[in-house]
Amino acid sequence: MNLVDRFLLYVQKDTQSDEDTDLVPSTPAQMSFAKELTEELKQLGLQDVALDGNGYVMATLPANSDESRPVIGFIAHMDTSPDLTGRNVCPKIITSYQGGDIILDPEEPVVLSPSDFPELSSYIGQDLICTNGKTLLGADDKAGIAEIVTAMEYLMAHPEIKHGKIRIAFTPDEEIGKGPDHFNVEVFGASFAYTMDGGEIGELEYENFNAASAKITFKGRNVHPGYAKHKMLNSIRIANQFVGMLPRSETPEHTEGYEGFYHLTGFHGDVETTVLSYIIRDHDRDRFDRRKKEVEHLVNKINSEYGASIATLDMKDQYYNMREKIDPDNMYVINLAIAAMEAVGVTPQVRPIRGGTDGARLSFMGLPCPNIFAGGLNFHGRFEFVPIPSMEKAMQVIIKISELTTINLI
């Protein structure tokens, strides 16, 4: 099966994750897809193919070189984002895109336009895979899975390409931040790995946000509004006051590059109880800690004004910047990826991730794991698309990394 056919098959599997369940994986569909992948890997002839009870798929491509080289790994996640439905995905191929608007859904209408997404203009003349305007596509991260599997198939068919032992893994629940929760680094057995989960062609990322979640619950007191003076405490208004106390310029829509933010992701409530959900992000660990302390300070300030325990805070760290684990001791992993990209005609775009990746937590678990492009753009929505040549280049990068581990680069 070729790369595009494999990708088109994978995206039609509905594997959305769900943060509101206590299941592992969080949705049964992910386990179903994991079973299908397991059978496919066995049929291809990979060794040590295993699916554990938590939905993690692992397999081995044995070394075909006598040289003693480190075991390398390639990882992608099976789930798609809960932000938009992944059911009944009907991908469409735009052959030799000539510029201008792409009508995804003529009924609504839904239009993928370079006026809204100027990056489209970088792919004129290329074949693009888009959605039908009703669902996400699932290139995040079905493109990564297809690239890894097809690269392994290619290496098996071309034994003249010498490589060391290669381990691959497909994980559940990355989109809800639980991808590495049950990942067994020791069983995986790689010296280092790459997640194939980046965006546009050339992306190589080994810096990501430090991340925390914060849930603030405001307790009010409801009294008939006609008799509420000096009695009512409206939790919605108190919560709104808290939102206004955080700096307006330090939100996702006002920041870029290394700038951190406070992001309000949920606001639910009534007079009696209101709950705010935030994510807190910063690349710098000291600034990250200061952001968390600021949230604590403002919660205390609300309580000093309205009374103890009016506001309660539940804040948890989620992951940290993987740069701490890669620079300087493991920079050879980055240099290897750069050499592989350049060898196949891809210009590396080394940049910080304004988000997270399974590789961040895996790096802190002892597996250095930067992130390489899978080729897709506009993830998590109906405007998602992936240029076919970008997927092909990602596959070539995997093959070249595998080959370069047999020469004196690391």
Residues 135 and 60 in one domain: yes
Q: Per the domain annotation, does 128 fall within a domain?
A: yes
Residues 98 and 153 in one domain: yes
Q: Per the domain annotation, does 355 fall within a domain?
A: yes
Of 319, 340, 368, which one is at a domain's C-terminal end? 319
Mean pLDDT of the region 247-267: 95
Tell me which residue of 207, 260, 256, 211 sits closest to 371, measured CA to CA.
207
Residues 256 and 300 in one domain: yes
Q: Tell me, what's the pLDDT at 409? A: 53
Give 204's pLDDT tier (boundaries 50, 70, 90). Answer: very high
Q: Per the domain annotation, does 365 fall within a domain?
A: yes
Residues serving a catalytic function are 79, 174
Q: What is the CATH number of the domain that holds 221?
A: 3.30.70.360
Cα dihedral 269→274→275→281 (10° resolution): 110
Of 303, 319, 335, which one is at a domain's C-terminal end? 319
Between 349 and 328, the higher pLDDT residue: 349
Mean pLDDT of the region 183-196: 97
Percentage of the chain modeled with pLDDT above 70:
99
pLDDT beyond 70 at 87: yes
Mean pLDDT of the region 61-79: 92
Give 386's pLDDT tier (boundaries 50, 70, 90). Answer: very high
Least confident of 2-11, 233-242, 274-283, 347-356: 347-356
Q: Per the domain annotation, does 410 fall within a domain?
A: no
pLDDT beyond 90 at 312: yes
Cα dihedral 16→21→23→24 (10° resolution): 50
Q: Per the domain annotation, does 409 fall within a domain?
A: no
Mean pLDDT of the region 183-202: 96
In angstroms, the Cα distances linking 321 to 27, 174, 253, 283, 326 are: 28, 16, 21, 6, 10
Residues 15 and 144 in one domain: yes
Q: Tell me, what's the pLDDT at 407? A: 63
According to DSSP, the β-strands at 47-51 and 92-94 are unpaired
Residues 88 and 189 in one domain: yes
Residues 301 and 338 in one domain: no
DSSP string, 288-301: HHHHHHHHHHHHHH
Range of the domain at 93: 3-207+322-404
Of 293, 319, 345, which one is at a domain's C-terminal end? 319
How far apart CA 410 and CA 401 sit, in angstroms, is 11
Structural contact between residues 385 and 377, judged by C-beta atoms closer than 8 angstroms: yes
Q: Per the domain annotation, does 26 fall within a domain?
A: yes
Q: Per the domain annotation, does 243 fall within a domain?
A: yes
Residues 146 and 166 in one domain: yes
Q: What is the CATH number of the domain that holds 53?
A: 3.40.630.10
Mean pLDDT value across the chain = 95
Residues 133 and 228 in one domain: no
Give 408's pLDDT tier (boundaries 50, 70, 90). Answer: low
Give 19's pLDDT tier (boundaries 50, 70, 90). Answer: confident
Mean pLDDT of the region 14-37: 95
Give 90's pLDDT tier (boundaries 50, 70, 90). Answer: very high
Residue 73: beta bridge partners?
Answer: 167, 193
Residues 192 and 312 in one domain: no
Which residues have CB under 8 Å from 373's CB, separation 6+? 196, 198, 199, 200, 201, 202, 203, 204, 349, 390, 394
Give 328's pLDDT tier (boundaries 50, 70, 90). Answer: confident
pLDDT beyond 70 at 111: yes
Between 355 and 133, the higher pLDDT residue: 133
Tallying the residues shown for the chain, one arrives at 410
Residues 78 and 47 in one domain: yes
Residues 274 and 198 in one domain: no
Between 7 and 198, the higher pLDDT residue: 7
Q: Per the domain annotation, does 232 fall within a domain?
A: yes
Mean pLDDT of the region 102-118: 94
Number of structural domains the chain divides into: 2
Taking phi over 0 as left and psi of -120 to 50 as alpha, with beta for the rest, 136 belongs to beta
Q: Tell me, what's the pLDDT at 68? A: 79
Residues 180 and 249 in one domain: no
